[in-house]
């Protein structure tokens, strides 16, 4: 059971986000938000705006239950030439996404929201990282899909902290691509801690 006096709450079920926040030295509780992501349309919206809307919805969903806590919400998508790519529904979609994203450079965008209802705190920003992939062979793609490591990952992949055999280089925050842009989170939390 969550302690009512928890200072920071991470509104996410993501193990990667929990690990990054823990490695950042933060003490926090985890509460999974009750947000139907499929109810949020990306039509007519840029990836930054879309991720910020979802991050804010997630943070507010949890903050409604814990108004005195700082709640961090986040949402990540891949942006391929303006097309917003979220989590694949199945292996077939994961393969389509993988073939697309690993054909040329794309962006990984994470919206981050910090909400505390008791004093009206509401901060929402986003971070963008450009990923330049290595071209994958059909065999590498098949192995990736078979591994199921794409499950629950925006863009059907997650880069590892020590690099990735499929990524040539990145421009921007590595932690943004691994799950939570810690440089942005630390800057946003600065005034509160």
Burial 79-92 (b: 16+ CB within 10 A, else e): bbeeebbbbbeeee
Active site residue 119: no
Q: How far is CA 125 from the centre of its chain?
A: 12
What angle is formed at CA 80 by the lines to CA 37 and CA 135, rounded to 5 degrees? Answer: 120
DSSP string, 98-125: HHHHTTS-EEEEEEEEEEEGGGTEEEEE
Q: Residue 47 is encoded by which pair of tokens? A: 């990836």
Query: Which of these is catalytic: 34, 36, 68, 75?
Result: 75
How large is the angle between the packed helices 138-147 and 91-101, nearest 10 degrees? 140
Q: In which element (H, E) is residue 5 found?
A: none
- C-alpha to C-alpha distance for 103 and 80, rounded to whole angstroms: 10
Q: Beta partners for 170?
A: 131
Catalytic residue numbers read 75
């Amino acid at each position: 059971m969550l302690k009512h006096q928890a200072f920071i709450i991470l509104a996410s079920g993501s193990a990667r986000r929990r690990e990054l926040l823990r490695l950042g030295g933060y003490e926090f509780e985890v509460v999974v938000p009750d947000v139907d992501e499929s109810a949020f349309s990306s039509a007519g919206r840029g990836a930054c705006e879309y991720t910020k809307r979802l991050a804010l919805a997630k943070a507010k969903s949890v903050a409604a239950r814990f108004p005195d806590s700082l709640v961090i919400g986040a949402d990540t998508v891949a942006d391929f030439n303006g097309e917003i790519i979220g989590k694949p529904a199945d292996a077939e979609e994961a393969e389509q996404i993988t073939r697309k994203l690993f054909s040329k450079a794309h962006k990984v965008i994470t919206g981050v929201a910090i909400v505390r209802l008791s004093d009206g705190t509401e901060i929402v920003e986003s971070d963008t990282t450009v990923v330049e992939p290595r071209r994958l062979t059909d065999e590498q793609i098949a192995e990736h899909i078979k591994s199921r490591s794409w499950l629950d990952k925006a863009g059907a992949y997650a880069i590892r902290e020590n690099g990735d055999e499929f990524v040539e280089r990145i421009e921007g925050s590595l932690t943004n691509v691994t799950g939570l842009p810690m440089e942005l989170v630390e800057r946003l939390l600065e005034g509160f801690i």
